[in-house]
Amino acid sequence: MKALSIISAAILLTASAIAEVPKWGNDVSKAVSQAGREKKLGFILMGREACSNCQATKALVNEGKVPVTADAFVIADINVDDQRAQAEFNKKFKKESFGNTLPFVVITDSKGKALASYSGFKDAATLTTMIEDAKKKAPAAK
């Protein structure tokens, strides 16, 4: 009986430790504004529905395999085929070097300043390291 109680407690602790995944927005300006209001980081992905790298990256976030959580991030999924959205993304992050493989991802501070960026698919371990490094670069919330 004691072992069952310990197992039940461990399951409850594990379930409560799983953080909520933020909801995907689809507008760069709104994501940056929301991140500023809420003093959160931004995770902005530009890709397309038919891109397997893009969908795999989104799955890492949606399945909680990387530390992009609702308490710390605002996230946006920008459609590369939407000319207005693409122009806005490119204007905001013009100094970033992405290469030519989707998705293009930017991790920002709460003011929209790029802390990290990359293109193509990154596995969970690599992406987690990038996210943690970006968090360390972010100015402390006031």
pLDDT-above-70 percentage for the chain: 86
Q: What is the pLDDT of residue 18?
A: 57
pLDDT in tens, 39-87: 999 999 999 999 999 999 999 999 999 999 999 999 999 999 999 999 9
Higher pLDDT, 14 or 117: 117
Distance CA(19)–CA(6), nearest Å, equals 22
The reported pTM is: 0.85
Confidence band (pLDDT; 50, 70, 90) for 2? Answer: low
Strand order in the sheet with 41-47: 24-25, 73-79, 41-47, 104-108, 114-119
Q: What is the pLDDT of residue 21?
A: 86
CATH superfamily of 20-137: Glutaredoxin (3.40.30.10)
Q: What is the pLDDT of residue 86?
A: 95
